[in-house]
Amino acid sequence: MDTFDAADKIAYYATELNNITSLMGINLANSDISKGNELERITFLTEYTHQIANELDALSKDIINDIRSIKHE
Q: pLDDT by residue (tens digit) across 20-61?
A: 988 888 888 787 776 667 778 888 888 899 899 999 999 999
Residues 6+ apart with CB under 8 A from 1: 9
pLDDT band at residue 71 using 50, 70 and 90 as cut-offs: confident
Supply the pTM of this predicted model: 0.73
Give the integer Cα–Cα distance in Å for 21 and 19. 5
